[in-house]
Chain A
Amino acid sequence: MRRRPPAGLGPAPAVLADGRALSAAMLRQLFVGQCLVLALHLPWMPAWLAGLAVAVAGYRHLQLRRRLPRASLLLRLTAVGGLLAALWLEFGTLYGVDGLIGLLLGVYLLKLLETHDRRDARVVVMIGVVATSGAFLHDQGLLMAGAALLALGWLVQSLVWLSGASGARQAWRETAWLLGLSAPLMALLFVTFPRVGPLWNLPQVNRASTGLTDEIAPGDIAELSRSDARAFRARFEGREPSPHERYWRVYTLSHFDGVRWSRTAPRELSSVLGRPLDHFAREGQHTPWTDDAPRFTTELLLEPDSRPWRPSLGTPLASDSRQRFLADGTLEGLSPLGSRSLLRLASSGAAPSNPDPAGPAWQAMLPAEGNPRTRELAERLRRESGGDARAFLAAAMARFGEAPFRYTLSPPRLSSADRVDEFLFGSRAGYCTHYASAMAVLARAVGIPARIVVGFLGGEWHPDGHVTVRDYDAHAWVEVWLDGAWRRLDPTGVIAPERIEEGPQAIRDGREAFLADAPFSALRLRELGWANQLRLEWERLEYRWQRGVIGYQRASRAALMERVSERLRALWAWLIEVSPGRGILAAVATLLVTLGGLAGGAWLLWLGWRHHRRGRDERALLLVLQAWLARRGLGPAPGESPAAHLRRIAPRAGAAGPALEESARHIERLAYAPVGSAERRERQRRLARRVAEARRRLGRRKSSAP
């Protein structure tokens, strides 16, 4: 495309001289709006949509330039058919959120083909607004909000052009006025509008879930997520956990088939064991399984996820909304999260104290065969510890602390059928899942119920007290049933205590492996002081935005409304107290007097401002003076110039005469002489002074007359 000056440089009205057809400048405006709206979607939508936008715009360009025919009905139908086919190929279905958004975007872009008059252009802008709101299904972060504001500004500006703006300056100024004036009302509505639950079901967005899997097979490479994607953020009310307490429990894995540990969901458990489902999971706001005392209250800001997992610091005990509490001391949401949402949770900070309803036999089950050397080792350790479970577990843990076991994020691959043997007696290198798996197998081999817990350990602490937990914080550890309660055993803590205290980046050999999946992550800039500071600031801002604006739902609204009404009540009470009389009437009177005083002050300010303006504009000054004189019967004759008028009445004005004469001189100089700006200001000031003097003296004469 040849570059042409942007629409704002010359007078380029939205419609051509015939009053109907859109000008090329207006079409360009619409196209830029389309590009902005499309940019909001592109990180999540197929890139060929950008190609479609360019193709449609190119067709319109050629049509305007070379007199190509208007897009025929056949062409438009073909385009829509092609769009549907492409979306179907891309997503496999059209009735998914992504498919629908794609359809909306495609229609938005294709509509430009048949946009010929003002009405069409307004329809295009409206579709653009809908498409902008569709982008909030992908993300509602701060960046998205800023970009959407830009797009909205542009769309509003297009509408201003369509209503007859004559220049870019005017259009942008009007847009700024409109957006600025409407923003307070928008904020008020946003805060006060009641939030209700979904009215009916709509297709939800499926988002790739975070790094946790519900089965682990130690030895398979790349199963430990090393991406820096955020799993969730949390804030603590009251006590904060110390580093060795930051175990976020998510799933327990209790089934081991010799190679992999997998999770057995409550539904599977109930069908395998032939017992009702509510023996394993119940919905409610409080856990029915245990009466442990809550130690931590956390407010979680969860990322959207298609799976219902909810992390908790130890055993979940109570939450602010209905959840599904599982008997193994974990928690599930009732529905997948389509967008970020807040969850308040009280938890114990420790492993649960209730027995697993599946029974100790289930929790100590091992395959009949396999890993013979591990079983042998377990048997030997049991004999050495004299049958005491505690001593056995201590001995087993102690083994991991000895060389040549080492902690690494990139261990050699294990491929044999007896993986635990291979790890314990062969490679002796691995990360949390290797150690947890081996420990659980050792415990089960001697009949101690044990299970693996998958979750997160640690997180990044921000200066304002919130903590970000990322995929690479994922961790696995063991819980064993001992003395009537589950106990946490973390073999990783023996082999690599710094992992517990400082996080995964502390692992020396993990330097190159850490963040291996995120080559461009901002987290790589940790070493750079100011960059890290900037990153932390941005994350703090993002967190506050997500918590305060996006998480502003029913509960937070109710709390805010409560606070506001409390303030108002306090204000009212204060008013009744300070008002001179007693009772409501006096308070109302005080309020009215105060408001009246404020309004009067504003009015005086406005008068002063007007006076100031008049001082800078001699024509307005003269109009006022002449009107004032006319009320005293000294008005101008028809067709008389202001200067002539003042000169005519000067001889009769007595003391005001010289002032009027001088005013007339100034007026003439200002009106006709080529005066510089400095002299102009000086004369304007003098004129204002003379006019005021004339009014003063004339007024005195009138009032002193009998």
Chain B
Amino acid sequence: MPDRVASDWRERLRRRWLGRLTASLWAPLPQSRLFLLPTRFGLGWAGLVVLLVLFGINYQNNMAHALAFWLFALGVVVLLRTWRNLLGVRVALRLPQEVFAGNEARLGVSLEGKRSRTALVLHAGGASAQADLPEGRGETTLALPAPRRGVQSLPPLRIESRWPLGLVRVVAWLEPGGRLLVYPRPLDADEPLHRRAGAGLDASDFAGLRRAEPGDSPARLAWKQWSRTGVLAAKVFSVPPRQQLWLDYDACQGEAERRLSVLCARVLAHHQAGDRFGLRLPGLTLAQGEGARQRRLALEALAHFDPATASPEEGA
């Protein structure tokens, strides 16, 4: 029990601390959110300065004094220049379009600063990436691991720089605040899928004319009608009826995650085949539809699905 209290307390402190530390995205990094920490090499450098001063004193050697002071002055200047390298950098994130569990979420990071910056390193959730901003602008990608399905909050982002000498690092923590929706890992089911990809899906039966719009293919324009009437029209062909089907949670076998994975794979396959499909999950029914929107809605429903709502029904 005291263990839990301690960990609770630690967690609260951590969160509070992070809240104090973190800067927000999109805005230039302010002075108050930059932290300068010495590196091990920097500590070694400080020791070297002391050593050289002692050397200079004991040998009454002015050049050794000068060298020691120069190293010290370099340290001071490096402090400023490292800090200046990160000050005012603006970080923006681009969330990936879609992420499936087990893959990595490739998070686009675009960095902007008024001056050129060098060797900025980003860390988040075990991934790291490096970026240079030669003209004050730079791009990089963070490959975050996405092991589990569902809604994930983005891990705090740490941006740091050791430029130019590696004596100190300047660190800023950023709270991305965004959420990442991870779709289930697609899993091809054991039972054969009745795909009818390609067959009879070409729009070939002439169905009539409509007013032409910019962007219509010239092959589809009704040139003959145009020469006769002077009105540009486009030919419309009817699409043969697609396969219409329902993807049903209850029809799948195995535990919840496996069922969702199978459904996910089928959504992808049917979308690719151009089928009309609907999705039935316990407590949620997605009407039949087609196209990218249907695919997205279905995948989102699968990602958001909470098996806990399903189990009482199963038990009933």
A166's closest neighbor in chain B, by CB?
Answer: B132
B63 at the interface (CB under 8 A from A): yes
A264 at the interface (CB under 8 A from B): no
B48 at the interface (CB under 8 A from A): yes
Among the listed stretches A189-197, A232-240, A466-474, which one makes contact with chain B, having 4 or more residues with CB under 8 Å of it? A189-197
Bitwise interface map of B from 37 to 80 toward A, beta carbon under 8 Å scored 1, else 0: 00001001100100110111111111111111111111011100
Assuming A163-B165, A181-B77, is B60 touching A133 (CB within 8 A)? no
Question: Which residues B74-103 have CB closer than 8 A to chain A?
Answer: 74, 76-78, 81
Which residues of A have CB within 8 Å of B41?
119, 122
Assuming A136-B61, A140-B63, A163-B164, is B70 touching A183 (CB within 8 A)? yes
Pick from A119, A129, A162: contact of B71, CB under 8 Å = A129
Bitwise interface map of B from 98 to 126 toward A, beta carbon under 8 Å scored 1, else 0: 00000000000000000000110000000
Which residues of B have CB within 8 Å of A159?
164-166
B134's closest neighbor in chain A, by CB?
Answer: A166
B44's closest neighbor in chain A, by CB?
Answer: A126
CB–CB B77/A178 < 8 A: yes
Which residues of A have CB within 8 Å of B44?
122, 126
B295 at the interface (CB under 8 A from A): no
CB–CB A199/B61 < 8 A: no
A162 vs B72: C-alpha distance when bound (angstroms): 19
A137 vs B48: C-alpha distance when bound (angstroms): 17
CB–CB A148/B63 < 8 A: yes
CB distance from A44 to the nearest CB of B (A): 15
A184's closest neighbor in chain B, by CB?
Answer: B73
Pick from A130, A160, A190, A198: contact of B59, CB under 8 Å = A198
B259 at the interface (CB under 8 A from A): no
A403 at the interface (CB under 8 A from B): no
Which residues of B have CB within 8 Å of A137?
59, 61
A706 vs B51: C-alpha distance when bound (angstroms): 74
Bitwise interface map of B from 249 to 260 toward A, beta carbon under 8 Å scored 1, else 0: 000000000000
CB distance from B3 to the nearest CB of A (A): 37
B80's closest neighbor in chain A, by CB?
Answer: A181
B276 at the interface (CB under 8 A from A): no
A553 at the interface (CB under 8 A from B): yes
B163 at the interface (CB under 8 A from A): yes
B68's closest neighbor in chain A, by CB?
Answer: A133
CB–CB B61/A178 < 8 A: no
Pick from B54, B68, B118: contact of A166, CB under 8 Å = B118
A12 at the interface (CB under 8 A from B): no
Which residues of A have CB within 8 Å of B54?
199
A199 vs B60: C-alpha distance when bound (angstroms): 10
CB–CB A186/B164 < 8 A: no
Bitwise interface map of A from 146 to 174 toward B, beta carbon under 8 Å scored 1, else 0: 00100010001001101111100010001
B271 at the interface (CB under 8 A from A): no
Which residues of B have CB within 8 Å of A122?
41, 44, 166
CB–CB A182/B165 < 8 A: no
CB–CB B48/A136 < 8 A: no
Which residues of A have CB within 8 Å of B130?
164
A550 at the interface (CB under 8 A from B): yes
CB distance from B83 to the nearest CB of A (A): 13
Pick from B45, B48, B62, B165: contact of A140, CB under 8 Å = B62
Chain A residue total in the interface (Cβ 8 A):
52
Assuming A130-B51, A136-B67, is B60 touching A553 (CB within 8 A)? yes
Assuming A148-B63, A189-B72, is B58 touching A199 (CB within 8 A)? yes
Question: Which residues B273-290 have CB closer than 8 A to chain A?
Answer: none
Which residues of A have CB within 8 Å of B164?
159-160, 163, 165, 174, 178
B162 at the interface (CB under 8 A from A): yes
A252 at the interface (CB under 8 A from B): no
A130 vs B66: C-alpha distance when bound (angstroms): 13
Interface of B, secondary structure class, is helix
A145 at the interface (CB under 8 A from B): yes
A636 at the interface (CB under 8 A from B): no
A166 vs B117: C-alpha distance when bound (angstroms): 11
Bitwise interface map of A from 85 to 123 toward B, beta carbon under 8 Å scored 1, else 0: 000000000000000000000000000000000010010
CB–CB B71/A136 < 8 A: no
CB–CB B58/A200 < 8 A: yes
CB–CB A164/B118 < 8 A: yes
Pick from B48, B55, B59, B73: contact of A186, CB under 8 Å = B73
Which residues of A have CB within 8 Å of B78?
178
Which residues of B have CB within 8 Å of A538?
none
CB–CB A339/B74 < 8 A: no
Pick from B67, B69, B134, B162: contact of A148, CB under 8 Å = B67
CB–CB B166/A162 < 8 A: yes
A145 vs B74: C-alpha distance when bound (angstroms): 18
Assuming A126-B48, A148-B67, is B57 touching A156 (CB within 8 A)? no
Which residues of A have CB within 8 Å of B119?
163-165
A159's closest neighbor in chain B, by CB?
Answer: B165
Which residues of A have CB within 8 Å of B62?
140, 190, 549-553
A374 at the interface (CB under 8 A from B): no
Pick from A144, A163, A193: contact of B163, CB under 8 Å = A163
A9 at the interface (CB under 8 A from B): no
A166 vs B163: C-alpha distance when bound (angstroms): 12
Assuming A122-B41, A183-B70, A199-B57, is B65 touching A193 (CB within 8 A)? yes
A497 at the interface (CB under 8 A from B): no
Which residues of B have CB within 8 Å of A74?
none
A156 vs B75: C-alpha distance when bound (angstroms): 11
Which residues of B have CB within 8 Å of A273?
none
A202 at the interface (CB under 8 A from B): yes
Assuming A178-B77, A190-B69, is B118 touching A338 (CB within 8 A)? no
A603 at the interface (CB under 8 A from B): no
A490 vs B22: C-alpha distance when bound (angstroms): 87
B120's closest neighbor in chain A, by CB?
Answer: A164
CB–CB B59/A202 < 8 A: yes
CB distance from A37 to the nearest CB of B (A): 12
CB–CB B74/A133 < 8 A: no
Which residues of A have CB within 8 Å of B74?
156, 178-179, 182
Which residues of A have CB within 8 Å of B77?
178, 181-182, 185
**Best-surrounded residue of A129, A183, A196 (most CB of chain B within 10 A):** A129
CB–CB B165/A550 < 8 A: no
A186 vs B77: C-alpha distance when bound (angstroms): 11
CB–CB A133/B52 < 8 A: yes
Which residues of A have CB within 8 Å of B60?
197-198, 338-339, 341, 553
A123's closest neighbor in chain B, by CB?
Answer: B44
CB–CB A170/B66 < 8 A: no
CB–CB B61/A182 < 8 A: no
B39's closest neighbor in chain A, by CB?
Answer: A122
A132 at the interface (CB under 8 A from B): yes
CB–CB B61/A339 < 8 A: yes
Assuming A164-B118, A170-B118, A196-B57, is B163 touching A186 (CB within 8 A)? no
A606 at the interface (CB under 8 A from B): no
A177 at the interface (CB under 8 A from B): yes
A140's closest neighbor in chain B, by CB?
Answer: B63
Which residues of B have CB within 8 Å of A148?
63, 67
A164 vs B134: C-alpha distance when bound (angstroms): 13
CB–CB B61/A185 < 8 A: no
A672 vs B81: C-alpha distance when bound (angstroms): 37
Which residues of A have CB within 8 Å of B57?
195-199
Known: A148-B67, A166-B132. 18 other contacts (CB 8 A): A129-B67, A133-B68, A137-B59, A148-B63, A156-B74, A159-B166, A163-B119, A164-B132, A165-B118, A166-B134, A178-B74, A182-B73, A189-B72, A190-B62, A199-B58, A338-B60, A551-B62, A552-B62
Q: 27 pairs across A/B with beta carbons < 8 Å? A: A122-B166, A126-B44, A126-B45, A129-B48, A133-B52, A133-B63, A137-B59, A152-B67, A159-B166, A163-B162, A164-B119, A165-B119, A166-B134, A185-B69, A185-B77, A186-B69, A186-B70, A190-B69, A193-B65, A195-B57, A197-B57, A201-B58, A202-B58, A339-B59, A339-B61, A549-B62, A552-B62
Closest 10 CB pairs of A and B: A164-B119, A182-B73, A185-B73, A136-B63, A189-B69, A186-B70, A186-B73, A182-B77, A186-B69, A181-B77
